[in-house]
Structure formats: structure tokens, C-alpha cells
Amino acid sequence: MPLDPSSQVGRARYMRWASHIAGSALGIFSTILGNALIFLIVARALSPSEFGKYGQAYAVCSMFGLVVDFGYPQRLLRDLPHYVAEHGNVPARILHLKLVLTALVTPVTLGLSIFLAGGAWVLGAILWVGIALISYGNFFGSVMRADGRHVRDSINLLIANLLGAATTGIIALAPSPSPKELALGTLVIGLTYLPLARLSALATARIVPEPVSLAKLREEFFGGITYASDIFVARAYGFVDVILLSAMVAPASVGIYQLGQKLMQIALPFAQAFNNVLLPIFARQFHRGAQSKAASLAPIIIMGTAGLIGFLMFSLIGPLVIGLAFSPAYHPLKTLMPLFGGVILIRFITASLAILMTSSGMQSTRLRINALALITFVPSALALSSLFGLSGMLAALIASAALSASLYALFIFRSSR
């Protein structure tokens, strides 16, 4: 049935969406406390050069954290009913696979983060343990979100991230805090969120015990590799760009770029709030054969408007924030704020189209598009950043997202004909 905002049914449906989105947005706001806000505190406490090294280690740990996630925050939103139908509830093989992936990527993560951060092995170790714990917490949080319990998960995230931000803030008040000391905030988040999420998830769901089996692990791995690869290539931009810049510019320039990136990441995670709510809704409509063209326009209009607001705020208010809140060493960032706003706008539009792609079962097509965009991003980012510096890197990000959005729209249009 087409969504008609003028009808009672249409209004009621939009109100339910709005309620769920608000609950999910609270969780995203909580995540911002544990990511972007902590980074802003760290940036104020460190010089651009030290902040650049901190960010390099964080980028590596976060990138491999996506491997441990293995796409479950996305997959469970769509496939939890299938798990329940097939296994009676959430099978233990998911946790078994995450443990295997953690063991495999830990040596690589620590080695690369230590190399990029100039031998700061303690910094890399603290960040990696915190991010790995958060990944396991996100698994349990995804179980709740897939069951519509967005508010409960959001409260857990809020508690954990408030404690993490408070820890970082207290450490930042000390004379000359070190990067490894400031990294303890991320560890506090993981140590808090994982037990809270586990207790809350298992209040209504349960883990179905089963012995560790190579055959089951292989089945689970290949069953989720499309989701994992899709999420990795979609979210790797926030880490790959930092790693590429580390090879092209000085740590101080990396620090300036990362301050803008983290300000941008205050806005970008809210696209996930729409995804958390709209993806299960549209997936159910698709399975029932009830997805209409009118309904498909809703995420594009809503998220496109949100992206435009982000662009205007970054272009008009962003330079003022940089000038007032940060030392003159970071002021070169002022001229880059409209470009960061442009990334926000195109990313929101791309995310709205991605919801339609995934809910319609075009996950493998979406993966191929994202992989193509990432593959073309790497050489273009290296070339443009070598010619134009930080603005070149941002131009490469915008071009890559625009390529994904164009191809998404093409396949959605073809499938609806």
C-alpha cells in the first residue's frame, strides 16, 4: 500500500518510523560521545603532530575492527528472523567466528599500528582491546536493534560512552597527557558496553549453545562474507584515507585532517540511525512484495535533507567553531570545512540508496559497486592529495561517494521497471 502522508495510515506509519529513528539516533549520539567527542578532547590536549600519530593508530585498529564485526551489525538487522527460524535463536557459531577472526587479525593490527604510530606499541594495544570489546558489544546491540529495542541499546551506549568521554576529559586536564593515557577512554567504553549489551540482549534473546565446528564456521563465514565485505568497503574510507595520508604528508597535517574528519563524523553516524530503522522495515515490505515506489522515495528525501543541513552547517558554522575551540595550529582546517560538508551531503544520499539496495536483496550488487568505488578511490586519493594536499583527499572522497550513488540509482531504477 503506498505511503500517503495525508491518510491516517500513512501518518501513523511515519510516526512509528520517527519514534524508532529517534531511539536509534540516541544510540548514534551516544556513539559520537565515544568517538568524535573523545577525538576532539584529544585534539585539544595534543599538538597536531601527536594527534596525527594517535589517529593513525586508531585508524588501523578501527579498520581491523570492521573485520571482527564481520558485517553482523548490518546482517542481523535483516537476517535475525532467519537465524531464529533455523536455529531457534542466535547460534553460538557467530561468536565462535568472531573469536577466530579476532585471533587472526590481532597480530597484524598491532604490528601495523605500531609501525604507523612510530613504535608506540602500548597506544596500539590499548586502542585495539577497546575497539575489539566494542565490536562484541555491537553484536549484542545488533540483536536488540533487530528486535526493535533501539532505546535499550541506546541507553547502554550512552552510559558506556559518557564514562569513556569523562575518562578522557579527566586525563586531558592533567599536565602534558600522553596519547596512550588518552587512549584509556576507548578501553573504558569497551569494558562498559560489552557487559551491558550482553545482559540486555539475553533478557529477551538467547545464545543457542553448540560445539565449535569447522564446518559450521565455514558455513557462517561464507554466509556472511558479502555483508562483511560490503560494510568493510563502505566504512573503510574513514580509515584508509588516514593511512594513505600518512604516506603522503607530515603527521601534523594528518592531525589537522583528522580533526575535520572527526567533526564530520559527528554528522555521518546519524545516517546509521535511519539505516537501523528503515532497513528492517523495507526488508519486510520487500519479502511481502509490498514495497512501493512512493515508499522508496521516503529515505531519499529524508536523508538528502539531513545531508543538506549538514553541508550548510559545516560551510557556515564550521570555520567559526575551529577558530573559537582550537589552537591556531589547527586553523588551516577552516578553509576545508565546506569540502567536509560536501562529503556529508553525498554520503547521506548514498546511504539512502543503499537502504533500498539491501532491502531489495541486491546485497551482492551493492558489494561490487562499493568495491569498485574503493578500488578507484585509492589511486585517485593518492594522485589528488599529492597535487592538492588535504583538499585533494576530500575531493577524492566526494568523487568516490558520487560514483557509488550513481550506480546505486541506476540499478534501483532498472529493478523497478
Q: State the average pLDDT over residues 162-186.
A: 92
Q: Give the pLDDT score at 339.
A: 96
Highest mean pLDDT among 203-217, 291-305, 385-399: 385-399
Q: State the average pLDDT over residues 33-62.
A: 86
Q: Give the pLDDT score at 2.
A: 45
Q: Give the pLDDT score at 309.
A: 93
Say how far residue 315 (Cα) sits from the centre of its chain: 23
156, 193 in Cβ contact below 8 A? yes
Q: State the average pLDDT over residues 168-194.
A: 93
Confidence of residue 12 (pLDDT cuts 50, 70, 90): low
Q: Give the pLDDT score at 3.
A: 46
pLDDT in tens, 331-373: 999 999 999 999 999 999 998 888 888 777 787 788 889 889 9
pLDDT in tens, 209-260: 888 889 989 998 998 888 888 778 777 877 889 888 887 888 889 899 999 9
* Backbone angles phi and psi of 211, in degrees to 5: -65, 150
Task: Please name every residue paired with 207 in a beta bridge, in sequence order, or none if there are none.
Answer: 90
Q: Give the pLDDT score at 127.
A: 94
Evaluate if residue 86 carries a pLDDT over 90. no
Question: Could you give the angle at the alpha carbon of 321 between the alpha carbons of 317 and 323, nearest 5°?
Answer: 120
**pLDDT, averaged across the chain:** 84
Q: What is the pTM of this model?
A: 0.77
Q: State the average pLDDT over residues 183-191.
A: 95
Evaluate if residue 287 carries a pLDDT over 70. no
For 141, which DSSP code?
A: H
For 35, which DSSP code?
A: I
Q: Give the pLDDT score at 204.
A: 82
Rounded CA-CA distance 301/352 in Å is 8
Confidence of residue 103 (pLDDT cuts 50, 70, 90): very high
Evaluate if residue 315 carries a pLDDT over 80. yes
375, 233 in Cβ contact below 8 A? no
Confidence of residue 412 (pLDDT cuts 50, 70, 90): confident
Least confident of 156-170, 218-232, 400-414: 218-232
Q: Which residues are CB-contacts of 195 (< 8 A; sequence separation ≥ 6)?
A: none
Least confident of 184-198, 268-282, 396-410: 268-282
Rounded CA-CA distance 20/83 in Å is 23
Evaluate if residue 17 carries a pLDDT over 60. no
Q: Give the pLDDT score at 15.
A: 60
Evaluate if residue 294 carries a pLDDT over 80. no
Q: State the average pLDDT over residues 123-143.
A: 93
Task: Please name every residue paired with 91 in a beta bridge, in sequence order, or none if there are none.
Answer: 208
DSSP output for 273-318: HHHHHHHHHHHHHHHHT---HHHHHHHHHHHHHHHHHHHHHHHHTH
Evaluate if residue 271 carries a pLDDT over 90. no
- The SS3 call for residue 261 is helix
